Amino acid sequence: MFMSFDKIESIGEEQRGLSLKGKDMETRFQVFAELCEKLEATSKRLVMVDLTADFLNQLDADEVEPTVSMMLGRAFPKWDQRVLEISWATLSDVIKSLTNVKWTRFREAFAKTGDIGAATKILFESSKMRKQATLFEKPLTILEVRRALEAIAEISGYGSRERKERLLETLFSQASALEVKFLVKIVIGEMRTGFYEGLMELAVSKAFNIPLDVVQTAAMLSGDVVEVAKMAKLHGKDGVLKLKLQVFRPFRPMMAQSSESVEEVLGEHGRETAFEYKLDGARIQIHKYDEEVRIFSRRLTDVTQSLPEIVELTKTRVQARQAVLEGEVVAVGEDRSPMLFQHLMRRFRRVHKIEEMQRRIPIELYLFDIIYLDEKSLIALPYVERRKKLSEVCGDIPLTEQLITRSPKEAKRFLEEAIEAGHEGLMAKKLDSAYTPGIRGKRWFKIKKTLEPLDLVIVGAEWGYGRRHSWLSNYYLAARDAETGIFLVVGKTFKGLTDREFIQMTKRLKALTIKKQPHGVTVAPKVVVEVVYNEIQKSPKYECEMALRFARIKRIREDKSPEEADTIQRVREIYERQYGKKARY
């Protein structure tokens, strides 16, 4: 890859970012990396939006989609089935072979920055071998990066790891240290610039002068702001307005607000509402077009492969050529009572040995909505009419249990029934409400029986990542064993405290440190915190064999001593009560 000297002179590392376009008029990747670096350096949302809007404006139409995807940490658009499948082992081998720097240097750089991309940049900057190499390389462009990523995603089968490694090596060897930083982040799928989809919607609106609500609606319907950005660049507002729901393009699901009481939701919904059992499973979007069926998780990942029985059920039972349906998949035990959520999640992650999993974790589907039927979007139809259509096309697939009522008394009985049957609670859906993708409003409420908060003691803490790297921000939470007096860990959380509280807590825990650990500290059990959580799972992770799911600190209990905190016996009692109705293996 040697070039003539005049070229070498014009593309030294320090000059790479000087002009937006490369010689062939494609936008340089260096400029993209510089933008990301600027986003990372500021926490001002408006500045981020302005910088991005400016950048989008200057791109060519075919550069918009790759740029927007990559800015959001994706190699490809969300609905795209391609994946890079590059392991940390492969990535680290490439970094090692290109820099030839001792790996302890990487660890040091990581400890300092808390970020894999930033640590890699430090290594590339300090590597003598690298400086030589970059001098002879041609500047990368955004489209070249995309093409390289496509080539990597295409590799499969025997020897794919080595071949991927080689392509990645070629890509990195053409990149500046700053470019490598962001290439690494794209490969691992974490940009950490603080720039998320909501800000991208603002940037697209600004760049192409399209009202924000038009951009937002289009993003929800098409499932990805990337699509909207591309359309905005190509056809402006009219193009964006044309973006519609399509079969096989997952969209963001409608969500529900929490409510404590049936009275509240009846009031909000104008006295009468539809209650449905809130099943404790996983939400899926089923897309059907003739004989083809694809299933997407709530986070819009394609999970078709892991759920063959749902594919079959849809193909054989659903009476429509084209349909987009929503429902809840629940795992069931032998007596058909609902099984724990964690078992179900194991089904979703599975792509191999599916048959064995089908046997071990049988699942059932309950449908609750229909969003598209034979060429027509149904999102504007009222809930009751969608539900009617759903019952017409669903064959013998069960729908979620439903009760339309004005009576708080009947509603409460229905809630008790749901809990008795081992479900989470109720959903309440406004009878005349349209389906609003991606929106958490008052048209849908969820009413759950909440588990009582626990007062737990912090017995250890780990250093955080990124912005939190100098704080002890990940806490081990323990309950006291009333019989032995020993504190047993039941969960871990980094959620719930404000920045200021993290700083104070770090100081406090440093003073209470009994032992330093590789990633944190063990501390004397002194600090009591009130913790909320979704459920208590059986888990081999901790000695007590239980673990809190989605734990979050509600407040610091300065008023309580560790002796007054909750006991492991109480945690076990809640655990038992919670699953009284559920199969527990």
* Active site residue ranges: 278
Give the nearer residue to ligand AMP in terms of CB position, either 219 or 427.
427
Least Å from the CB of residue 470 to ligand AMP: 33
Which are the contacts of 193, defined by CB distance < 8 A and separation ≥ 6?
36, 39, 40, 48, 71
Kindly state the smallest distance separating residue 364's Cβ from ligand AMP, in Å.
12
d(CA 240, CA 231): 6
Minimum distance between the CB of residue 439 and ligand AMP, rounded to whole angstroms?
A: 10
Asked if 529 contacts 555 with a C-beta cutoff of 8 angstroms, the reply is: yes
Nearer to ligand AMP, 171 or 256 (CB): 256
C-beta closer to ligand AMP: residue 194 or 438: 438
95 interacts with ligand AMP by CB under 6 A: no
Cβ closest to ligand AMP, residue 165 vs residue 197:
197
Q: Which two tokens stand for residue 354?
A: 């599916």
CA atoms within 13 A on the CB side of 225: 24
Structure token pair of residue 374: 């034979």
State how far the Cα of 120 lies from the Cα of 105, in Å rounded to an integer. 10
Backbone phi and psi for residue 319, each to the nearest 5 degrees, phi listed first: -100, 70
Q: How far is the CB of 277 from ligand AMP (least distance, A)?
A: 6
The percent of the chain in helix, strand and coil, each rounded to the nearest 5, is 45, 20, 35
Q: Which is nearer to ligand AMP, 348 or 542 (CB)?
A: 348
Torsion sign across C-alpha atoms 18, 20, 26, 32: positive
User: Which residues inside 271-290 make contact with ligand AMP, applying CB under 6 A?
Assistant: 276-279, 283
- Cβ nearer to ligand AMP, comparing 190 with 410: 410
Shortest approach of ligand AMP to residue 556 CB, angstroms? Answer: 27
Among 38, 96, 235, 446, binds ligand AMP (CB under 6 A): 446
Count of residues near ligand AMP by CB under 6 A:
13
Unique residue bearing structure tokens 């309440």: 428
Nearest to 544 by CA among 476, 467, 487, 492: 487
Q: How far is the CB of 255 from ligand AMP (least distance, A)?
A: 4
Cβ proximity to ligand AMP: between 368 and 502 the closer is 368
How far apart are CB 443 and ligand AMP at their closest, in Å? Answer: 11
192 in the Ramachandran plot: left (φ > 0), alpha (ψ -120 to 50) or beta? left
Nearer to ligand AMP, 249 or 429 (CB): 429
For ligand AMP, the binding residues in 541-570 under the rule CB under 6 A are none
In sequence order, what DSSP letters do the residues of 268-324 get, joined into one string? HTTT-EEEEEE-SSEEEEEEEETTEEEEEETT--B-GGG-HHHHHHHHHH---SEEE
Binding residue (CB under 6 A) for ligand AMP from 141, 400, 433, 506 = 400
CA angle 306, 399, 351 (to 5 degrees): 0
What is d(CA 228, CA 236) in angstroms, rounded to the nearest whole number? 10
Touching ligand AMP, residues 473-492 (CB under 6 A): none
Q: Judged by CB under 6 A, which of 328, 364, 462, 566 binds ligand AMP?
A: 328
Burial of 161 (0-12, 13-18, 19+ CB in 10 A): middle
Q: Does 255 bind ligand AMP (CB under 6 A)?
A: yes
Instruction: Draw the binding track, 335-374, toward ligand AMP (x: CB under 6 A; -: no contact).
Output: ---------------------------------x------
| 427 lines the binding site for ligand AMP (CB under 6 A) | yes
Closest contact distance (angstroms) between CB of 481 and ligand AMP is: 34
Distance in angstroms (rounded) separating the CA atoms of residues 221 and 205: 16
CA distances to 83, 311, 440, 491, 493 from 475, in Å = 34, 42, 30, 8, 5
Residue 256 found at the interface with ligand AMP (CB under 6 A) = yes
DSSP assignment, residue 547? E
Q: Judged by CB under 6 A, does residue 21 bind ligand AMP?
A: no
Task: List interacting residues with ligand AMP (CB under 6 A).
Answer: 255-256, 276-279, 283, 298, 328, 368, 400, 427, 446
